[in-house]
Chains A and B, each alone.
Chain A
């Protein structure tokens, strides 16, 4: 199913490529020993290297290199044993050296892909052109003084992984799915926390439109969008703008645009004519980064199970439907919870409780799965109690609610509240008899042909049992007695 824009003059397809900047999780910056704590007081996480002092030299932080290699494995990509750092030269007050150390034609990672699941059940493979390491810039603060701008260099020099996709994305939905998957992968690996609202993951989108069967159009780049929803909105708006522009006789120009999330629009920032020539050249302060085989092998062996593999395993080992498995593996913490709850129990039923009742509770309480009031082993045990007939699924709702409130084990709750299901035939029979005896008129009506009343009798008896009667047995007995 392809995404088509219906224009005045016909159909249009869109092409999107995404450049995602992921802030690397590491104790120190990419080329200095300064700390990287988020939210620290301004200019307290800065070394003389970060501040561009004379004579200061960069030294590569191998922790960041390892994070990039791990991420490369996560992107099914080629780990380049030799990569080279280059300087990207431009002047700005948040860039103390007057250049950013980045990688140009020899990135550390290249040629990968990730598979994304779409809502219609389709899977799309999105190519990854490259991942390279580079330094972040500082931050300008315009609100500290009436006429001056202040500079905070805490972020200056922090390692970023720039992950560049191929122009393989064909709809806003695919862009969203790609970003969610990418975020999931880096979080699984622990190379980036993926928090777009804190700026530790930022996205630029290259968007173009063309008529089906024709070559790709001229692209515009939308810079620094800070949420998945906004990226999708920005792409949708930008594609529409381009279609309208072309259809009204205009031409798309290659330019950088900015997304205004309040208005939901993109605005031109600068065109190619005024674009900066970054004068890239290899940084003579650094030698080529050469990775040794032993290190690559060690990192390969240390790789955690990633979402795709986990999903496959969940389907195979737990018999989950693909959709459910996909939902459960999207976040590592949810997957871990599921496994802790499902181990040795009815996994399918456990999955249903997680995606239904548990998610509803977490949503309502604004909690993450790691803060779940219901312990995973208790959820698993509750499913056991349902399956062995100790409680009915109706009673299970109550047990679940008590677990949320009190945090006790389901056994304790069933015991304390006396919620054990009644499966003793004579006991149920006795209750049915009492209900029938108390309602002779209804019995007569039933026998007179009003068979719908069967459900009413079942309900009455269930109420009399305080919900504890085994529903199947109850049903059967009521019918048997009435029809007798």
Chain B
């Protein structure tokens, strides 16, 4: 029998259907793999009992002819999805011991479609970070190795670092991620997997621990584009419990994967190609991919998105502003951590001082400040105006092109102890290519397109589409995937 953790979702569904193996066997194989790879710290909570129980039920459903879209597929759940009866902390100390009495819409849909949750994956605290270094539960190790320095502890990217590492290392077949300013796409690029952030409103936010409500969007992390299509279809859809969720029918995404890009107009935004701040290998993979797409019949169009340079500062005003308010509920009164004090104010201060990590505090402080009288007009409102301008520029661009092709991250995965990791401003620069589409609420998928010649690490490219054009971006991503000669499995740290 093939190694079950090597399979893609599509292959596994096939094998399950043909009774080559059972969901319980598939789950057991992944649980074993998780045990072997604990040094990656990809999971903050493993739930083997729940997993085996669900796998058993899945086999029963399949036997009864009631298989769902993800029937029997073992998945990792980012720790910001509230899971009923299973500790959920968003990897923050302040949510110590919080066990939600409810299940998020997205995780519920995945369960309803038959998927089997293996555990909660590590992440940056409250999804604030680009390297998965802010988690209360410690850093995650990227399963890939730098060929020039194989012992170097590489970060997986963030904030969905645990999910990305788990998917890359075969510790689950797919995982949920969430993307506020690049939290799916950056780790997908660093870990050589496919990460899709759909259109804002495509998936329900109900039951997701909020970071920045106007930007947060659930998404998929898988090893292939086809798997992304399968999983996204299971997760997406209108939810009356989320007022910002879109009442738009969910298409069959797998059908969109025709591999045909003939006649498609692919935009290359010149602002994403700065003289400084873009790794030569990344640029090379980008250029090469564009050429391959052209050879496959696509039309490559040079476009301009002039306000791109303002996207990063805009994002770092809006997201913290919303976060400062969203995180006010963690006050020690109702659940999670409480550090007592002699007065209510003292209890608040003690709890929040101890409960939040440095990066979260920094963003709460910035966000609080931005909303104060005086700064509100000069910072927050101005940022909103720039956001509208960005949306407008994208809308103009999509009159000329069908999708936009861009790098997902300016370079490959870096070391946990690299100098840049201690400088929050440098860390923010890793979001430079991902935040514009987040601000515009557009769907974007990061797909592995090549590796660095220098260090052998994976390089992902983003395909950004117009609103609700997930089918088009997946079609292009599928073509890129087929054309690239990426190995599907990393040179793993854990396991074998």
User: What's the least CB distance linking B245 to chain A, in Å?
Assistant: 9
Contact of A57 among B88, B242, B371 (CB under 8 A): B242
Chain A residues within 8 Å of B209, by CB: 54-55
Pair B329/A97 contact, Cβ less than 8 Å: yes
Does any Cβ of A come within 8 Å of B473's Cβ? no
Pair A54/B329 contact, Cβ less than 8 Å: yes
Total count of chain B residues near the partner, CB < 8 A = 45
* A89/B344 contact (C-beta < 8 A), A54-B100, A57-B206 known: no
Pair B335/A53 contact, Cβ less than 8 Å: yes
B80-98: contact bitstring with A at CB < 8 Å (1 yes, 0 no)? 1110000010100001001
Does any Cβ of B come within 8 Å of A59's Cβ? yes
Residue among A52, A279, A285 with the highest chain B CB neighbour number at 10 A = A279
* A277/B373 contact (C-beta < 8 A), A54-B98, A96-B333, A98-B331 known: yes
Chain A residues within 8 Å of B210, by CB: 54-55, 285
| Closest chain A residue, CB of each to CB of B380 | A281
Pair B372/A98 contact, Cβ less than 8 Å: no
* A54/B334 contact (C-beta < 8 A), A48-B101, A59-B240, A99-B325 known: no
Chain B residues within 8 Å of A98, by CB: 325, 327-329, 331
Does any Cβ of B come within 8 Å of A87's Cβ? yes
Chain A residues within 8 Å of B328, by CB: 89, 91, 97-99
* A281/B205 contact (C-beta < 8 A), A91-B348, A287-B243 known: no
Chain B residues within 8 Å of A51, by CB: 334
Does any Cβ of B come within 8 Å of A309's Cβ? no
Contact of A52 among B102, B104, B329 (CB under 8 A): B329
Does any Cβ of A come within 8 Å of B214's Cβ? yes
Does any Cβ of B come within 8 Å of A373's Cβ? no
Does any Cβ of B come within 8 Å of A269's Cβ? no
Chain B residues within 8 Å of A284, by CB: 212-214, 244, 322
Contact of B372 among A55, A58, A149, A277 (CB under 8 A): A277
Q: Is the interface of B mostly helix, strand, loop or mixed?
A: loop
User: What's the least CB distance linking B127 to chain A, in Å?
Assistant: 12
Chain B residues within 8 Å of A283, by CB: 213
CB neighbors of A among B301-357 (8 A): 321-322, 324-325, 327-329, 331, 333-335, 344-345, 348
How far apart sit A97 and B208, CA to CA, in the bound complex (Å)?
15
Chain B residues within 8 Å of A444, by CB: none
CB neighbors of A among B203-244 (8 A): 205-210, 212-214, 240-244
| Closest chain B residue, CB of each to CB of A286 | B243
Chain A residues within 8 Å of B137, by CB: none
Does any Cβ of A come within 8 Å of B21's Cβ? no
Does any Cβ of B come within 8 Å of A35's Cβ? no
How far apart sit A354 and B331, CA to CA, in the bound complex (Å)?
57
Contact of B243 among A89, A91, A99, A285 (CB under 8 A): A285
CB neighbors of B among A397-425 (8 A): none
How far apart sit A221 and B480, CA to CA, in the bound complex (Å)?
66
Does any Cβ of B come within 8 Å of A454's Cβ? no
How far apart sit A56 and B205, CA to CA, in the bound complex (Å)?
9
Pair B205/A57 contact, Cβ less than 8 Å: yes
User: What's the least CB distance linking B350 to chain A, in Å?
Assistant: 13
How far apart sit A281 and B241, CA to CA, in the bound complex (Å)?
22
User: What's the least CB distance linking A322 to chain B, in Å?
Assistant: 49
Chain B residues within 8 Å of A55, by CB: 80-82, 100, 104, 205-210
Chain B residues within 8 Å of A54, by CB: 82, 88, 90, 95, 98, 100, 209-210, 329
User: What's the least CB distance linking A62 to chain B, in Å?
Assistant: 12
Pair B214/A281 contact, Cβ less than 8 Å: no
Chain A residues within 8 Å of B398, by CB: none
Pair B95/A89 contact, Cβ less than 8 Å: no
Contact of A279 among B208, B213, B345, B372 (CB under 8 A): B372
Pair B100/A287 contact, Cβ less than 8 Å: no
User: What's the least CB distance linking A404 to chain B, in Å?
Assistant: 55
| Closest chain B residue, CB of each to CB of A48 | B102
User: What's the least CB distance linking B364 to chain A, in Å?
Assistant: 11
Chain A residues within 8 Å of B334, by CB: 51-53, 96
Does any Cβ of A come within 8 Å of B368's Cβ? yes
Chain B residues within 8 Å of A279, by CB: 324-325, 368, 371-372, 376
Does any Cβ of B come within 8 Å of A60's Cβ? yes
Does any Cβ of B come within 8 Å of A4's Cβ? no
Pair B376/A285 contact, Cβ less than 8 Å: no
Residue among A54, A55, A93, A283 with the highest chain B CB neighbour number at 10 A = A54
How far apart sit A55 and B95, CA to CA, in the bound complex (Å)?
13
Does any Cβ of B come within 8 Å of A151's Cβ? yes
Give the interface of A toward B (CB within 8 A): 48, 51-60, 87, 89, 91-93, 96-99, 149, 151, 277, 279-281, 283-287
What are some 5 contacts across the A-B interface (CB < 8 A)? A53-B329, A57-B241, A57-B243, A98-B327, A279-B324
